[in-house]
Amino acid sequence: MAENFGIETLAEPEVNASSAENNSSAILLFKDNNETFLFTSDAGVPALAGAVEVANRIGVDLSTAKGLQVPHHGSKHNVGPAILNLIVGPKKAAEQTTKTAIVSAPKKGEPRHPSKKVINAFIRRGAKVCPTQGKTVCFRGSDTPPRAGWVEAVALPFSNQVEE
């Protein structure tokens, strides 16, 4: 299936698309000075919507997090455009990076994890998406020395061909 930056084919998942177990995942917002990171575990739309509701009640906009974890290894059953608009932010008119998203995925997880539709949806909303794909990935500042046994995170490209 073809996509481009202006055409998103990621659909809203069915109400029961993610399991009760996944929807009981802990969702955490980590704050350190002005930096925030949203950990989503294996949460699906119902759990993510609940987190947005609680965050809104206490005056926190989850979409302002500079870093976040892509839910459930990048499964298209756990996110849709509406919830991504709330936790990542609205779609951008052009590709621009405003945050980093980490997708924990097994080395041989393709084609299911991460879903190219999900990766593209995050990129459209300003996220640079970096997969683990079976590697020990290190994010570090320019003044931090390299760490033995760790590799630099490399962002996934936008895909013009996505799964059905």
Map out the domains of the chain as residue ranges: 22-152
Residue with tokens 């990542």: 88
Peptide bond into 114 cis (omega under 30): yes
Q: How confident is the model at residue 26, as a pLDDT?
A: 95
- Exposed e or buried b for every residue in 103-138, given b needs 16+ CB within 10 A? bbbeeebeeebbbbbbbbbbbbbbbbbbbbbeeebe
Q: How confident is the model at residue 80, as a pLDDT?
A: 98
Q: How confident is the model at residue 140, as a pLDDT?
A: 62
Taking the C-alpha atoms of residue 12 and residue 57, their distance in angstroms, rounded to an integer, is 24
- Of the candidates 65, 83, 60, 80, the one whose C-alpha atom is nearest the C-alpha of residue 127 is 65
Mean pLDDT per 10-residue section of the chain, whose length is 164 residues: 95 92 94 90 96 97 96 94 98 93 79 87 97 72 74 88 92
Q: How confident is the model at residue 110, as a pLDDT?
A: 63
Taking the C-alpha atoms of residue 73 and residue 61, their distance in angstroms, rounded to an integer, is 23
Residues 74 and 118: beta-carbon distance below 8 Å: yes
